[in-house]
Every structure is written in structure tokens, then in C-alpha cells.
Structure 1
Amino acid sequence: MSSAMMLLGVGLIFGALVIVIAVLALSPRGDLGVNRSIAVLEALTSAPTEMKKEIDASFTDRVLLPLLAKAQGLGRRLTPADAGDRIHEKLELAGNPRGWTADRVSAGKVVCFFAALVVSLLLTTVMGLGFLPTLVAVVGLSVAGYMAPNLYLYQQAYERAELLQRALPDAIDLLTISVESGLGFDAAVAQVARNTEGPLAEEFSRMLQEMQIGRGRTEALRSLAERTNLPDLRSFVSAMVQADSFGIPIAQVLRVQSSEIRVKKRQWAEEMAQKVPVKILVPLIFCILPCLFIAVLGPAGIQIMDSFSGTVK
């Protein structure tokens, strides 16, 4: 009796499963789901271009740009009111790197700060440091991350100043030759900007563009001096402004400026040459002399050790 009831129960369960499968197979819902998916795909492929752009937005547009905008807003709130002017001045000295603005520098400070904070926390956790070393490492790396954009701009401004210093004597010589050959000052500056390369040629081109849009020569020259922190270039601009104001022949002023800058360049080269022995002293003491002592006194030290070890035996 019990076995008959068990067989009946198994049969009923099997029959119910067959009925459910048959209903699902014959039901139009499956086709409806497939048709709905096909309809969605067709709608996506036939959608207008504007809707496709919104749907197919890249990871940068969907995530990175909104985060950058929030970081810019946070950077504006955390920095003082005059921070934008100071950052703009640093950007001018660095040559206005492409894509860099005052807002992006502020946002970069915030992003670098939080990135350095997270990295320092992970490193100290992995290394298993104590509370005080962890605090010092986290604070130090976070401050370094916050100051990283400023350090980058400072390095860019330093390298740009060196390029300006090297290109200035040749540019003034070319200016002098062009003016003495009969060209006007503006035409001579255009000749220098066209035949040279580097940041000085870019500054001369910008000065000419400012003069073409209506600025006076004196204002354009002073703007050129404000965009650089090179003393020789500023003295040259001051001499040109005074010559233009008092009516002094420009060729004569250029000749004097050329000779003075050549003398300064020679003195700068002699100064750099005098610094070489002092700079080479540190690697000589800590790197070269120890290796020399090891190569010269090493065999003698080994023999002395062998002789002492033999005596002890």
C-alpha cells in the first residue's frame, strides 16, 4: 500500500512538471520577451544621434569629468580668494602648459591630496607601522600630494627660464643686426620670432599679436617682462621702453644691450665652472673614494686578516 502511494505521488509530481513545461513552452510570453528585446535593440540602433551620445557616453564623460568638476568646486572653497591670481602667475611663468588652468590646478591639488592620503594609508597598513609613524607618513605624503601641482609648475618655470637665458643673447644679436640693416623694431622682432625656436620666440610672437590687436609697444613689452622672471630680459625690456619714450635710437640701445648680455653670459659660464669642484666634492667623497679604497686596500686587508688568523692558530 505504501509503495503504491509512493508511486502515485511520484507520478503526480512528474505529471505536474510536464504540464508546467508544456505551458511555458506553449505560452506566448517567451516570444513576447524575445520580441521585446529585439524591439529595444532596434530602437537603440534607430535612435537619434543625440540620444546615442547620451547612452554611449564614455567613462571619462560619465565619471571623470563630474568628479573633476566637484574637485574644482572643492578646490575653490579650500583655497584663499587671491589663490587664483597667484596660480595664474605661476602658469604664466611656466609658459601656460596646454590644458592647465587655475581651476584645474586647484582641482589637481584636491585630487592629489586624496590620492596620496589613500596610498599612504594602504602602504602603512601593509607595512604594519605604529600609530606615530603612520600619522607622520600619512600627513607628509598628503601634504606632498597637495603641493605636487605647485612643484610641477615651479619646475616648468625653472626649465623655461633656463631656455630663455640661453636663447636671449643670440636673439638680441639677431635683433641688432636686423635693425642695423634697416628694419624697424617690429619687423626685427618678427624676424627673430620667425627664425628662432623655443619659449623666447613664442613670447616675441605673443608680443607682436598683442601689438596687432591694438596694444601699444610699451604695454606689450611690459607684458613680456611680467610673463618671465628673468632679470636680463627684464632689463632689456626696460631699456627698450626707455628708448621708445625718450626717442633714443634703438640700434644703439640694442648694440649696448647685446654687449652687456654677452658679458653677463660669459660671467655666468665662469660662475658655473667655478661651482663644479664644489658640486663634485660630495659624490667624490661618498661614492668614488670608498670604491678606490676598497680596490687598493682590499687585498692588503685580506692578507693582514689571513696573517692574524694564522698567528692565532
Structure 2
Amino acid sequence: MSLLLLGVALVAAAVILLVLVLALGVGTSGPTGVARSLALIEGTVGQDGVPRSELAARDRLVEPVLDATRRLALRLSPSGAEERLARSLDRAGNPSPWTVDRIMGTKGACLLLGAAFGLLWGGLSLTGLVLCIALAAAFFFLPDLLLYNVALRRQERTSKDLADTLDVLTVCVEAGQGFDSALLRVARTSDGPMAGEFARVLSEIQLGKTRGEAFSAMGERMSLPEVRNFVSAVVQADRLGIPIAKVLREQTSAMRVTRRQKGEEKAQKVTVKILFPLLVCIFPALFVVIIGPGGIRMVQSLFGAGGL
């Protein structure tokens, strides 16, 4: 029975891992053969209008499995889970392999994988049932944790690069360029989260949004207080007609003060953080080296005196 459970769990794990690997983009992503010819003629090709043999391997094998696991994850998730994932993807910068549907499908696949590992580890018993539920829940929320980690790292990078990016924007505006042209210059020449956000702002303006609406949407996507202060200043300057160059200069100075204060705050925390490694790792070794020989001599003297 244990060998049978082991085999079933390994097969399930192999299938789910194959689905996850192919979901990240392994394999051909576009149509081939007749489907490619139809795509060149008509522009778009639906899966229902193309023979199944002409579809890519991912569309024939992986997509149905991901669709089933996505429906499973939706049933187990609270209402509004897709909107919450969309906001998390915005904070993480919308990584290219990931979409809301793909993350939901991955969550369902991880749920099944965790349940399989729980049964493999604990077997058909009460312990195995508890492990199955615990690992299934942990694996189910693993994509959310990874997405949160990506968003957190992006925020840290934004906090470091914001002052330099605003410096370039200020120089472009003071050199005579328009604000939109300066945003385009920064988006093309800079590398970082703010460059991508500026490019998205310009795209939304071209699609019909006002400058204030586009920057307000950027402030909602970026949860950093510095970015929100910058967005508020730009929106108010746009509404009140204040020269944008002066606003950018003041915002850049404020960003540099904020970055210096954050550096000083981290430096003050070092003395507290280093206390625990000292107490746990370094002080015991020092006590052994310094007090150890004296302790050994005291024990030898006491035992020697007792023997006399």
C-alpha cells in the first residue's frame, strides 16, 4: 500500500510540475502550420476555429489543466480574489509571464501538489490527513507570498532610484522640454520601476485619460509615501497651473532628504540588530576561550583539595 501511494504521489507531482513549467512559457507560444497562415490573413485565430492538431502543445495539454485548477482555486478563494491579485500584479510591475488567470491556475496546481506531498509523507492516517490539509493550504498561498516578495523588492528599488529619476526629469524640464516629452525621455533612457510607470502614464494619456487621472492611477499602484507625495504635487500643479519645473525641484530635494533620513534610520538599527548574533554566537565562544581555562584549573584545584 505504501509503494502504491508513493507511486501515485510521484506521478501527480510530476504532472503538476510539468504543468507549472509549461505555464511559464516553455514551448511554442504562437500558432503553427495552418493556424499561423490563418493568423497572417485574418490577424487573430481562435482555438475553436483551428483543428486541435494545429494548436501548440501548451494550448492542447497545459491550458485545459490550468483552466481546471483555476476554477478550483476560484471556488476556494473569497470574493474579490481576482481584483486583489490584479492590484498585487500592478505593485509587482506586472511580470511578463504572469497574469491573473495564470496565477489562479498555479494556486490550484500548488494546492493539489501540497495535498499529494501530505499524503506521501503521512500516509492514510490522521497524521497524513492533517499534513495533507496543512501542506495544501501552505502551497495554495505560496504564489501570493512570492508575488508579495516581488512587489516588496520593487518598492525598495523604487525608493532608492526615485530621487535620481526625478533629477533626470527635472533637468529635462529645465532644459526646455515639455513635461510629457521629459517623461518620455526618462522612460526611454532610465532603467527602473519609475521608468516603467512613466511609460504606462504616457500610454494612459494617449488612450484618453487626463494627466491628473493617469498620475492618480500611478499613485494607487505605488504604495510608497514618497511616490504618493510626488503624484499629489504633480496633480495639484497641473490643476492650479503652477510651473512644473519648480515643483519637480522641490520634490527632488524632499526625496533626497527622505532617502538620507532612511539611511540614518537603518544605521541606528544596526546596533540593535547586531546584539542578538553577539549574544547567541560570539559571546559563548568568548566565554569558553576566556573563562574555560580558569574554570578547568578551579575544578582541578577543588578535586585535588578534596582528594587530599
Alignment TM class, shorter chain as reference: 0.7 to 0.9
CA shift, 1:192, in A, is: 1.7
- Taking a change above 3 Å as real, the CA distance of residues 242 and 297 of structure 1, as seen in their structure-2 partners, is same
Mapped partners of 1:52, 1:103: distance in 2: 24
Instruction: Please list, as runs of the form range in 1=range in 2, the aligned pairs for 1:126-275 lying within 5 A after superposition.
Output: 131=126, 134=128, 136-275=130-269
- Taking a change above 3 Å as real, the CA distance of residues 122 and 311 of structure 1, as seen in their structure-2 partners, is farther
Q: Residue 64 in 1 paired to residue 58 in 2? A: no
CA shift, 1:306, in A, is: 4.4
Partner of 2:53: 54
What secondary structure sits across from 1:236 in the alignment? helix
Tell me, which stretches of 5 or more residues in structure 1 are unaligned? 1-47
In structure 2, what residue type is equivalent to 1:233? V
Mapped partners of 2:56, 2:221: distance in 1: 39
In structure 1, what residue type is equivalent to 2:99? T
Cα deviation code 1:26-46 (max 9, x no counterpart): xxxxxxxxxxxxxxxxxxxxx
In structure 2, what residue type is equivalent to 1:217? R
Partner of 1:99: 97
Q: Which of 111, 115, 118 is 2:116 aligned to?
A: 118
What secondary structure sits across from 1:98 in the alignment? coil
Q: Could you tell me the percent identity over the aligned residues? A: 43
- Taking a change above 3 Å as real, the CA distance of residues 118 and 165 of structure 1, as seen in their structure-2 partners, is same
Mapped partners of 2:55, 2:221: distance in 1: 43
What secondary structure sits across from 1:171 in the alignment? helix
Partner of 1:294: 288
What secondary structure sits across from 1:100 in the alignment? coil
CA contact (8 A) 1:94 1:156 kept: yes
Decide which moves more: 277-286 or 85-94.
277-286
Q: Residue 278 in 1 paired to residue 272 in 2? A: yes
- Taking a change above 3 Å as real, the CA distance of residues 306 and 57 of structure 1, as seen in their structure-2 partners, is farther
Cα deviation code 1:234-291 (max 9, x no counterpart): 1101110110101111111111111111111111111111111111122221122122
Mapped partners of 1:228, 1:196: distance in 2: 18
Cα deviation code 1:43-64 (max 9, x no counterpart): xxxxx98899839975x55543
Partner of 1:76: 74
Cα deviation code 1:54-86 (max 9, x no counterpart): 39975x555433321211122233323321111
CA shift, 1:94, in A, is: 0.9
Mapped partners of 1:49, 1:306: distance in 2: 91
What is the TM-score with the length of structure 2 in the denominator? 0.76
Mapped partners of 2:34, 2:184: distance in 1: 47
In structure 2, what residue type is equivalent to 1:273? A
Number of residue pairs aligned between Structure 1 and Structure 2: 261
What is the TM-score with the length of structure 1 in the denominator? 0.74
- Taking a change above 3 Å as real, the CA distance of residues 310 and 224 of structure 1, as seen in their structure-2 partners, is same
CA contact (8 A) 2:70 2:105 kept: yes
Mapped partners of 1:123, 1:84: distance in 2: 32
Cα deviation code 1:76-126 (max 9, x no counterpart): 33323321111111111111112211122222222112211221232234x
